Structure 1
Amino acid sequence: MTFSEGMRIDTSTTTTSGGGGRGGRGMAIGGGLGGLVVLLIALFLGVDPGNVMSQQSLDTQGVEAPGFDVSQCRTGADANSIVECRVIATGNSLDHIWGQLLQGYTRPNLRLFKGEVSTGCGPATSDVGPFYCPADQTAYFDTDFFEVLKTQFGSTGGPLAQEYVVAHEYGHHVQHQLGNLARAQRGPTGAESNAVRAELQADCFAGVWAHYAAITKQPGTDVNYLEPLSDRDIADALSAAEAVGDDRIQQTATGRVNPESWTHGSSAQRQHWFTVGYQTGDPNQCDTFSAANLGG
């Protein structure tokens, strides 16, 4: 999916780093593919998964190196050619769309990093994948993840697959503002857990964004954020949702599927809830916490 070339990119909420640093402790939400593999291995081995994120970065010391130069990101044309600009531009469109859908919405911060990063939820490495930290209201992205998503787990890796990942993490920010995010830590674990329901709701919110992104004009430019979505674009997003399903990752990592240790939902469930959001454009249809059947 391509951005309209006349779209203007706002980098005011974006920071970058090349790695390094230590942070406090908290709970990061929505760790991507690499983080989920680590988490699943922790659960299989009987270790406390809450310690996994910080243990990955125990050797992370020193001053953070310079990161990506955001001054390269000016227009939609830059978003179409530079992956970091695509992430920032997607965040811009998400902020505008959720600002219209959710009263009182405030923009999250966006952090681009390489290798390792200090966060309000503790130190993290790229192995965690993209994630959202409610403690500092920041969505974190190492764009190398998109290549891993394609080469190791079979996603098509198209632009909308990447934009879906960004929209999912911003979905956690919406949950944080709605007061839903804390529910992910309550109740039993497994396929019907609140943790799974929170992730599926973020997928649905990503679908809501996709519903509006190609029909919403950016203020001041009079162009839509995205060009019209094609069937191929939607297939790209669904391929990313499939790639990060618990069952798909468990089968790849261990050769077996154990729903009792699911944290994000199956591939079919993730595709289902993205589709609900995309087809309806209605955040109220994304109430996975009340759903008797999570689909898939």
Structure 2
Amino acid sequence: MTFNDNARVGGNSAKRRGGTVAAVGGGAVGLGAVVFLLIQLFTGTDLSGIVGGGGVAGPQTGGERIANCETGQDANRNDDCRLAAASLNIDQFWGKTVEGYREPQLIIVDGATSTQCGTASNATGPFYCPPEETVYIDPTFFALLREQFDTNAGPLAQLYVLAHEYGHHVQNLIGVMDQYPNDGTGPASNGVRTELQADCFAGAWVADAADQVDENGTPYLQPPTTEQITNALAAAAAVGDDHIQAESGGVVNPESWTHGSSEQRQRWFDAGRAGGVNACDTFSVAAGSL
């Protein structure tokens, strides 16, 4: 999506944080490790403890304000600012939708940083850390998305990814994560249903995003174009479990899914766009219709 050039976005609370993380295995990365890292990249799970390798010790605090991020024009020029600016829009949407909504912290990761949920970097992919109520995202993730999975990862695709993580924050606030705890993997698991609901929430936000305004009444964003929607759907397909497994050279195994298939992720994103938040109850859907 495109920001209006004169929209005021400097009031965002996003911060930049990062450091250095030791290389996995301490040396050259072989093909098996590359595939392993790709699985990490698109599941938002830090698995470095399984294969070895160092990390930043202990959760870090603080961070720096995102520089040169005051207007919509700045957001259109820079990935970091685009994400920071979009947080204002997403928070405004959910503030009108969920009673008692609390804004999460958004951390733009520079390199890597430790969290209570593991290391955040482009090798783990964007993720939400419930005990911190914080979204972590490394913008270089989008370059890897383009390079490894042949998708454009344009502005709306980037904001879809961010809105998906904010969807997890909403799930945390309204009790979804407590009511439907992770019960393992599989095409109808609670984990997959949770991820598909976050996709649906992202779609609901996209449908309403152009209605959110800054303190002067200027809309933050212009309505999405057909091309941008297509791009976002392509990103949703690229991070489907079946697509990741196929691209990584493995067998497509639904019983190992954690996020849902490409078709499911696209369909639930569209369900949110068409029907809003009320269309996002993925937990009442029969397994065969999910």
Same fold (TM over 0.5): yes
- Match of residue 25 from structure 2: none
Compute the RMSD of aligned alpha carbons.
Answer: 2.9
Say if 2:3 is the partner of 1:8. Answer: no
Report the identity percentage: 44
Give the corresponding residue for 1:38: 40
Could you tell me which runs of 5 or more consecutive residues in structure 2 were left unpaired when the two chains were aligned. Answer: 23-34
In the alignment, the residues of structure 1 paired with residue 212 and residue 258 of structure 2 have an alpha-carbon distance, to the nearest angstrom, of 36
Distance (Å, rounded) in 1 between the aligned partners of 2:65 and 2:50? 29
> What is the aligned partner in structure 2 of residue 181 from structure 1?
177
Q: Does 2:234 align with 1:239?
A: yes
Kindly indicate whether residue 242 of structure 2 is the aligned counterpart of residue 285 of structure 1: no
Aligned-residue offset at 1:250: 0.3
The one-letter code sitting in structure 2 at the alignment partner of 1:287 is D
Give the length in aligned residue pairs. 276
CA–CA distance in 2 between the matches of 1:35 and 1:98?
33
Asked whether 1:163 is paired with 2:159, we answer yes
Conservation of the 8 A alpha-carbon contact between 2:38 and 2:248: no
- Superposition deviation, residue 217 in structure 1: 3.6
Inter-CA distance 294–84: structure 2 relative to 1 (3 Å threshold):
farther
Which position in structure 2 is the counterpart of 1:254?
249
1:25 equivalent in structure 2: none
Structure 2 match to 1:98:
94
Find the aligned partners of 1:294 and 1:2 in 2 and give their Cα distance.
37
Give 1:120 shift.
1.9
Provide the C-alpha distance between the structure 1 equivalents of 2:21 and 2:247, rounded to a whole number of angstroms: 32
Question: Are residues 40 and 270 of structure 1, via their aligned partners in 2, closer, same or farther at CA, if it must alter by over 3 Å?
Answer: closer
- In structure 2, do the counterparts of structure 1 residues 58 and 15 end up closer, same or farther at CA, with 3 Å as the change threshold? farther
Contact 2:14–2:65, Cα closer than 8 Å, also in 1: no
Shift of 1:185: 3.6
Distance across 1 between alignment mates of 2:49 and 2:280: 32
Q: Distance in 1 between matches of 2:36 and 2:77?
A: 25
Query: 1:76 and 1:210, CA in 2 relative to 1: closer, same or farther beyond 3 A?
Result: same
Distance 1:35 1:11 in 2: 35
Report the more deviating stretch, 55-64 or 117-126: 55-64
Unaligned runs of 5+ in 1: 23-32, 42-48
Q: What CA deviation, in whole Å up to 9, does each residue of 1:257-289 have, x standing for no partner?
A: 0000000000000000000001122x1210001
Which deviates the most, 113-122 or 131-140? 113-122
| 1:218 lines up with 2:213 in the alignment | yes
Matching residue's letter, 1:292: A
Deviations 1:110-163 (A, max 9, x none): 001122211121334321100000010100011000111112112222110111
CA drift at 1:56: 6.9
Off by >4 Å, runs of 4+ in structure 1: 33-36, 53-58, 61-64, 66-69, 293-296
CA distance in 1, matches of 2:179, 2:142: 29
**TM-score of the aligned structures, taking structure 1 as reference length:** 0.84
- Code of the residue aligned with 1:15 in structure 2: it is K
The separation in 1 between residues aligned to 2:158 and 2:36, in whole angstroms, is 15
Partner Cα separation in structure 2 for residue 122 and residue 56 of structure 1: 14
Q: State the one-letter code of the partner of 1:249.
A: I
Query: Is the Cα–Cα contact under 8 Å of residues 21 and 61 in structure 1 kept in the other structure?
Result: yes
Relative to structure 1, the CA distance from residue 87 to residue 51 in structure 2 (aligned partners, 3 Å threshold; closer, same or farther) is closer
1:246 partner letter = D
Please give the alpha-carbon distance, in whole angstroms, between the structure 2 residues aligned to 1:257 and 1:111. 33
| Segment drifting more, 188-197 vs 68-77 | 68-77
Distance (Å, rounded) in 2 between the aligned partners of 1:113 and 1:137:
16
| SS in structure 2 of the partner of residue 255 of structure 1 | coil
Q: How far apart are the structure 1 equivalents of 2:99 and 2:263?
A: 31
Aligned to 2:119: 123
Q: How much has 1:230 moved relative to structure 2?
A: 1.2
